[in-house]
Amino acid sequence: MREADRRTALGSVWLRDEPEPTRSRLSREDIVATAIRVLDRDGLDTFSMRVMAAELGTAATSALYWRIANKNDLLELVVDTVLGDALVEVQGDWREQATGVLMAAYQALCAHPWAAQLLPTHAGLGPNYQALTDRVQGILAAAGFKGTHLDSAVSAVVHYLIGSAVADSAWLSVVRRSGLSEARWASKSADRMGLDSHHLAAYLNPESTAGPESRFTSGLRVIFIGLRPRQIS
């Protein structure tokens, strides 16, 4: 197999060996940190390996492609790095522990809205994503969830996290592309959507009791009300 093919086989950076060390001072971690800074600044739409090479400087271009084969590999690395902020220890009963872990993940994704856009296509195999689901599974297993009911409960809350983050990111991406604040965008767009502008502004405002984070927390409460530790045969 050619070197280029070997480095892109199996479709995920997590299913391949990391390249051998080189004399370059530029590490994979350096590249990922730079990519996160660029994505926070410019968003996902204009992101490319060419942009990264320019950001890192001409001398670092060859090191970039040696360390990370392509854009998809880099996007897998950055979204998993963001999810590392969710690996927190939370005290309390199983509902409080699970809520704390999932809220930390949601807040990490909200801090980097582009990361939520990548969840459907570039998450799932990374170590931090796996550690997040393992943490949730461990909390529920300790509470008495077993068998297929445990699997279903983990899927329910993790998929709720992903769906909420993706949906809220989509709204905020539209607002960001407009160049307007949430309130200004709501006042100009509400009539076209058949909505009340004040309600729409509150829906988009992270600080509002009707905003994304409050809705996410309330949704978790609804899910946990319906979950009981038991085993489904």
- Per-10-residue mean pLDDT, the chain, length 233: 53 75 74 95 91 81 79 94 89 94 94 91 89 96 93 95 93 88 92 93 88 92 87 53
Contacts of 1 (CB under 8 A, 6+ apart): 9
CA–CA distances in Å: residue 32 to residues 36, 39, 85, 127, 151: 6, 10, 15, 15, 32
Q: How many CB atoms lie within 10 A of CB 166?
A: 15
pLDDT at 2: 45
pLDDT at 27: 84
pLDDT at 59: 61
pLDDT at 154: 96
Structure tokens at 181: 């604040």
pLDDT at 123: 78
pTM of the model: 0.85
| Of 138, 48, 50, the residue nearest 90 (C-alpha) | 138
pLDDT at 76: 95
pLDDT at 92: 94
| Of 6, 58, 115, the residue nearest 50 (C-alpha) | 58
| Of 44, 156, 86, 153, the residue nearest 52 (C-alpha) | 44
pLDDT at 162: 94
